[in-house]
Structure 1
């Protein structure tokens, strides 16, 4: 997938660019697996974000998944979707 998206930190106003590796929908919640690195061949930090915005909102609102149970559950789903990619927690 590797679509490039930009986020604006609501606290600092800093613009952050991320690359979307994969996305999925679980229990009517949209999740993104993102990384700061575009290169598929290198080991990189990946993050799972969830979309908190309402369908009628013009811009999406994402937050990092920090709940351990939710993080494990969604990362297991991404691991299945990306069978050739190793995901470690």
Structure 2
């Protein structure tokens, strides 16, 4: 029973991290330079509200959690760097 719940939880976390990474990468072409591989930006901006442990939270003045680790791993695999910004949930969509 626990194994099935863990798999579902991991799948939901992975999907939300991918959506965060994909949704926060847009912007001016001047502010984010392409790394050359298929137009992938060199820096991908990720925003999240960091009040939902274990997915994203603050520990010793550092942002940590499953979603951040997953997003960072995906972005590194793409050959880019992650720029993270913590903000309130109501500010995520407009940002």
Confirm or deny a common fold (TM above 0.5). Answer: no
> Larger % of strand: which?
1
- TM-score, length-scaled by structure 1: 0.33
Larger Rg: 2
> Larger % of helix: which?
2
Whose RCO is larger (CA < 8 A, sep 6+)?
2
